[in-house]
Amino acid sequence: MRAIRFLLRHRVTRWLRDPTWGTGTVAGQVVLVGLLLLLLAPLGLGSYVLGDVLRELFPEADALALINAGMLYLVPALMASRFLLQSPPSEQVASYAVLPVSRRGLLNGQALLSLLSVHTVFAVVLVVPVWAAEVVTAWSPGAAGAWLATALLLTVVLASHGAILLHLLLGWRPRGLAGVIALVFGLFSVDATLGPDLFRAASRVIFGRPLVGLACTAFLSTGLHAGLLRALQTRLEVDRRTMRRRDGPSWWEQALCRWAERTLPAGRLVALELRQMLRTRRMRGIALIGIICAVLFYGIGVSELVLKGAIGFNGILYIAFFGIGWPSFTVGSAIYGISAGHVDGLFTRPHSFSKVVTSKLALLWTGLLPGSLLLPALAPWIRPDYAVFLLGCTLYWWGVGTPAIAYVGPRFRMPVDTSASSASMAMTESSRGLMLLPIPFGLLVGTIAAYATGGWLLVAAVLGGAGLAGLGVVAWTLQPFARELKRHRHAMLEGFRENEPV
């Protein structure tokens, strides 16, 4: 308990000193809390009326049985959201290891304090209203309490611990993480389409028999917590020792960097970006998450094709927004922050600002490659106007979205620790992060207009024309980007030093 109290006090102190929240303006804090409540209110209301909606849609079925059959699917969804958006505690343990505090207490504290997040609030808002509306009135107090405890253990504890284990696996075996995600996604897909529907059956057993489900869930949570502590202990021991390093980059890494250095514009700086991506855990995590996002959202479209015989508007929307441009958009606010460690040398060497911008554009365009390369494989299976529209969206991301991110990039002045194994790349400055929102907003307006009017080809021509025009401008001159970087470089360097973690 002493270690947990110490960690909690340290977290509160760090929160109070955070310039983006604790010492910010009162108006800004009120606005952020209001936005959070605005987002949580519809979720809570939807959870509360879920039973009534199911009774309207399926009058002959038992609404509570349908709810019980679907509760288990919340676990992978909430685990994925934590993995993508919540920073894990594993990188924060080693700095406390030198203190006279129990090592096991530190690990327990880090694992338990990871539950104190907005993700836990979302899980509670999803679970408690449906429990109050459907379960409390149908079962005895003991059974209803067991149902709620089971739901919270699954959606909060298992989701949090599972996300941390995925982060540890990403830092240890990135290919293993990709294999695990592909295996789980494949099992869910096969079970839902071809299999005996085992996941729904397991969910019905766990939530339909609350006492049995609570015993199984408590046993699983205890075992997962013990496994997590063991994994964190191993990670801490490895970090405290000198981690075994490779003698040098592999032959294909050397060949790729040599090719970039000799062939591409600003080749030396592009090769520097590639080496940073290949040699640092966080940058490799960004690349892996980009590939996973592209495959996942394209997979949603393919699942619609398999189940419904055609990809609908939702599938097209997911692909256009997330399948193609999500990796570049998420890293956009930190495009210069990842270079904070060597930015002094970058600006003191005789590199023109145009070459620096070229290297950043090359890194952002690399994030668009997975979604762009998957598009030709999907095009023969969808309507021709949808295929042309997705082509226009791809050109928009290449010619408008990425240059806009590179132009705004110098305004983000928070350094990024590239040695960390976290794959989450949250907006580094939430107030300034709003400057990137017009990029997907313009795409959203075009998509809604195409859906409302049926003018997919016209909207595709507008988006694709804008993208080609943007590519032409970038190919012709980079002076506007260079002037923006030159104008903000001193403030950017000052921000890196002010926000450097101690």
pLDDT top residue among 26 and 108: 108
Tell me, yes or no, whether 317 and 234 share the same domain: no
Q: How far apart, in Å, do the first and last CA atoms of the chain sit? A: 26
Question: What is the rounded CA–CA span in Å between residue 51 and residue 43?
Answer: 14
45 domain residue, yes or no = no
The domain boundary, picked from 240, 255, 275, lies at 240
Lowest-confidence pick of 33-37, 209-213, 335-339: 33-37
For 351, the enclosing helix (H) or strand (E) is none
50-58 mean pLDDT: 86
Lowest-confidence pick of 17-31, 73-87, 383-397: 17-31
- Which candidate, 324, 328, 333, 361, places its Cα nearest to that of 463? 324
- Which candidate, 221, 192, 191, 194, places its Cα nearest to that of 206? 221
Q: By percentage, how much of the chain surpasses pLDDT 70? A: 81
Query: What's the domain count of the chain?
Result: 2
323 domain residue, yes or no = yes
Per-residue pLDDT at 465: 93
136 domain residue, yes or no = yes
- Which candidate, 290, 323, 299, places its Cα nearest to that of 397? 323
Question: What is the rounded CA–CA span in Å between residue 64 and residue 52?
Answer: 10
Would the pLDDT of 244 be above 60? no
Per-residue pLDDT at 245: 44
The string of pLDDT tens digits covering residues 255-269 is 777 777 777 777 788
Would the pLDDT of 501 be above 60? no
The string of pLDDT tens digits covering residues 166-202 is 877 776 776 777 777 777 777 777 776 666 677 888 8
Per-residue pLDDT at 94: 60
Tell me, yes or no, whether 190 and 281 share the same domain: no
Q: How do the residues of the chain divide into helix, strand and coil, expressed in percent and rounded to 5?
A: 80, 0, 20
What is the value of pTM for the model shown?
Answer: 0.60
Tell me the pLDDT band of 431, cut-offs 50, 70 and 90: very low
Lowest-confidence pick of 9-13, 52-56, 73-77, 163-167: 9-13
Tell me, yes or no, whether 376 and 435 share the same domain: yes
Beta strands in 402-455 (DSSP E): none
String of DSSP letters for 124-165: HHHHHHHIIIIIHHHS-HHHHHHHHHHHHIIIIIIHHHHHHH
Range of the domain at 183: 60-240
Tell me the pLDDT band of 462, cut-offs 50, 70 and 90: very high
Per-residue pLDDT at 27: 59
Tell me, yes or no, whether 330 and 195 share the same domain: no
Q: Residue 494 has which token pair?
A: 């000052």
